[in-house]
Chains A and B, each alone.
Chain A
Amino acid sequence: MLLSSQFGGWLNNSKALLRMIEAVLAAIIILLAFTVSYHYATPPNPFTIRAKGELEKMAYNLLHRLAEEKALDEILEKNDAELLGNEFAAALRTLLPKNIVYNLTIYKAEIITITPHNVRSVGLVKLCNAANIEDPDTIVRASEVGKAVLTYTYSQLERGEFYTLVLHLTIARVER
């Protein structure tokens, strides 16, 4: 009762009451600021973000592996775009788990001359595609998607060829 009466006396002072309301408002503002910053600082779904990173790593590792083993050279030696796509599809089927869908597109970098100033530039020409899905939107709709891009420089001594291939691999985890 004594404490209550003391507080009661203190609160009779209108300035003290205003300070108190200010303190509460300030605390609300600070809390709101932290809540908003926290919302932007952390991803909406940490699991999806982590899974996406893992798929991206998997895609890169896969392409690096294909490039390291002399498999690519052996396939390219045959100089047949359709065969190239089939061989890649077979390699990816073997190396990836069953619940992973993939879409690999291989481009060949070609020098193009842009007139009228004869500026030489490089353009990517689609060489072949290997995928285990008929509808590419399946990958777009999947929540866990990983993409990787790898360049592979190739040469053929007898034919005097020298060119770079650009491999775009997209993989996604789906329910199967």
Chain B
Amino acid sequence: MNSKAQFIIVAALLIGIMVTSLAVSIYLTATQHQEFRYQAYKEIIINIDKDFKRALARILALATYEYGQNEVKDKLKEVLSKGDTNGYDIKADFNEKLSYWCQTLIQSYPDAGLQLSLKDEENLLECLWLSSKSFSVIYSELTVNLISYGLYGFVSEGRIQLNVTIDRVSAKRKGNSITISLEFHVEREYGEPVSSLSKDNYNKFTGQDTLAGWAISYNQTENWIQPEEVNIEYSAGGKYTITFEVPKKPSGKLSFYLVLRVRDERGILVVALANVREE
């Protein structure tokens, strides 16, 4: 065999080896793609979503705490003098706190290319109190882009709410006293029942492991009285029945207003009002 023929055989073998190597390389490239570096975009999104809702709940809790301390007392006088039990509406601006929160988040993830935008027209903090259907609500929508991870348009919808609805109030004479029975239900956003009210957290809004608490007071003449002995019964689905006794009026039928304060474990307060008339 001459040298030129040998060359062609060697060349053919070489090309064959190269083609086989290429096939192996392509196969490995295809099968090893899952070994790329882990990107924690999912965890970042989960954190933003959860902390956004947590921040909204905290803002609402702080706002309702402030209203409950001061403003509600003046409003209560106004509502009672007018005899209007349709409640009163409070709207508040919370953009400053949310703006602070957004800035903090951007600083926390400097490499993620984080873009946050709040829908201004959707922002809402509203409390309708001193009514038989009272609520406190905060609502906002946040759009998140993580440019470094190629993730765009994640929308976190934050709705935090506490509703207190007084279903029925009755006052029945029993000897020298009158038994008041109040049926109401408490629910969070999306109809989730609140079951944290109990006899233990009656009239205890501070110094507790939980923020949950409730209180009732009723007016007789000019004074507001908080009954000491109150029974509360929970009957599932966020429904409660409260019973307590008030002294009988010397003459005529008893009629008064009853204020019910409910605070859930997140610290959100609602103040409801009912008109009680002796049957």
- Residue ranges of A at the interface with B (Cβ–Cβ < 8 Å): 4, 7-8, 11-12, 17, 20, 23-24, 27-28, 30-31, 34-35, 37-38, 41-43, 46, 49-50, 52-54, 56-57, 60, 63-64, 67, 109, 111, 121-124, 148-155, 157-158, 160, 162, 164, 166
Contact = CB atoms under 8 A, between A and B. Distances in A.
A162 B5 contact: no
A157 B18 CA distance: 72
Contacts of B100: 109, 111, 122, 164
A151 B47 contact: yes
Interface in B25-76: 25-26, 28-29, 32-33, 35-38, 40, 43-44, 46-48, 50-51, 54-55, 58-59, 61-62, 65-66
B35 A46 contact: yes
Contacts of B87: none
Contacts, number: 142
A170 to B, nearest CB: 13
B4 A157 contact: no
Nearest to B97: A162
B108 A8 contact: no
B32 A42 contact: yes
A50 B47 CA distance: 22
* Max chain A C-beta neighbours (<10 A), residue from B62, B104, B211: B104
A158 to B, nearest CB: 7
A28 B18 contact: yes
A17 B25 CA distance: 29
Nearest to A161: B62
Interface residues of B, number: 51
B28 A38 contact: yes
Contacts of A150: 47, 51
Given A56-B38, A153-B55, A121 B108 contact: no
A23 B11 contact: yes
B92 to A, nearest CB: 13
B62 A122 contact: no
Given A11-B8, A160-B62, 17 more contacts: A20-B7, A24-B11, A31-B22, A34-B22, A34-B26, A38-B28, A42-B32, A60-B40, A60-B43, A150-B47, A151-B104, A152-B51, A153-B58, A157-B65, A157-B211, A162-B62, A162-B97
